[in-house]
Structure formats: C-alpha cells, structure tokens
Amino acid sequence: METIWQDVRFGLRMLIKHRIATIVCVVALGLGIGANTAMFSMAEAFLLHPVPFENSDRIVALVDARVASDGGSGFGPRTLPRLRPRPTSIGRKRRVRSMSWPRTRGTN
C-alpha cells in the first residue's frame, strides 16, 4: 500500500513540475470528454427518441424544381395553400420554411 502512495506523490510532483504539459493534457481531456458527451447526446436524441409528430413516418420534404425570379426556389409558404385542396398532397402543415439553394451550372 505504501508503494501506491509513493507513486501518487511522485505523479503529483511531476504534474506540478511540468505545468504546461499538465495544462495541455487537462484541456485536451476536457475537450475530448465534452465533445464525446455532445456527440452521444445528439445521437441519443435523434436516433433513439421518436419524432414528436403523429404519423412521423409520413413526414416529407416538398421541393419545387422551378426557379423563381429572385433566383431562389419557386416553393414557399404561399404555395402551400394551393396544394392543400388536393387529397393526396398535404394532411396538416406543421412548419414551412423557404430555403435558397445555391445554383450552379453543370460542366457537361
């Protein structure tokens, strides 16, 4: 048991003697533990818990291939009411968000 305490005291002396290396190791260890915790929390939240919507297997993303006059996509919040009367289109709207996707010309 005395040997263990000698090893602990020696380790603490070396940590105090080499302060820069100790600080770098503690910071690296802290960042690693924090990043690992964040990644597992995200994976647990997205993969193990269901989406908080009814019929979550029917969630889809609507995309309009037309280009609007401002260079963005032709689909936006004002397009949704026109799609609602169609029986196979949309059941209930939860959220509509317009997104602009970068448009590039192909190099054919």
The residues spanned by each domain of the chain are 2-48, 53-97
Q: How far is CA 32 from CA 21, 38, 47, 81, in A?
A: 16, 10, 22, 48
User: Is the pLDDT score of 97 beyond 80?
Assistant: no
Q: Look at residue 105 in the predicted model and tell me its pLDDT.
A: 55
Contact (Cβ atoms closer than 8 angstroms) between residue 68 and residue 83: no
Rounded average pLDDT over 67-76? 61
User: Is the pLDDT score of 43 beyond 70?
Assistant: yes
User: Is the pLDDT score of 27 beyond 50?
Assistant: yes
Highest mean pLDDT among 5-14, 38-47, 69-78: 5-14
pTM of the model: 0.45
